[in-house]
Amino acid sequence: MAGGLLLAGCAAPHDPEVTFFADGETVNIGPSPACDATLEECRPTGALAVPGGQPLSISVPKQIADAPWLVVFRYRAADGSVQKARSSLFRAGETYAYTLRTPTAGDQLMHVEVQRIGEMGSDENRQLYFGIDASWALTVSS
Q: Report whether pLDDT(59) > 60.
A: yes
pLDDT at residue 15 in the model: 87
Is residue 67, in this structure, part of any structural domain at all? Answer: yes
Using only the alpha carbons of the chain, give its radius of gyration.
17
Domain span at residue 111?
Answer: 14-141
DSSP state of 42: B
pLDDT at 121: 82
Q: Is residue 2 part of a domain?
A: no
Nearest to 80 by CA among 48, 108, 115, 42: 108
pLDDT by residue (tens digit) across 5-56? 343 444 445 789 999 999 999 999 999 887 765 555 678 889 999 999 899 9
pLDDT of residue 7: 39
* Spatial separation of the C-alpha atoms in residues 17 and 28, rounded to whole Å: 6
Do 50 and 140 contact (CB within 8 A), yes or no? yes
Model confidence, pTM: 0.84
The answer to the question of residue 1 being in a domain is: no
Residue 66 lies in a domain: yes
> Is the residue at 9 inside a domain?
no
User: Are 110 and 102 in contact, with CB atoms under 8 Å apart?
Assistant: no
How many angstroms separate the CA atoms of 119 and 114, rounded?
Answer: 15
Q: Count how many domains the chain has.
A: 1
Residue 6 inside a domain? The answer is no
Q: Is residue 3, in this structure, part of any structural domain at all?
A: no
In a domain, 7, yes or no: no
Give per-residue pLDDT as tens, 91-125: 999 999 999 999 999 999 999 999 999 888 888 88
Q: Which residues is 99 bridged to in the sheet?
A: 57
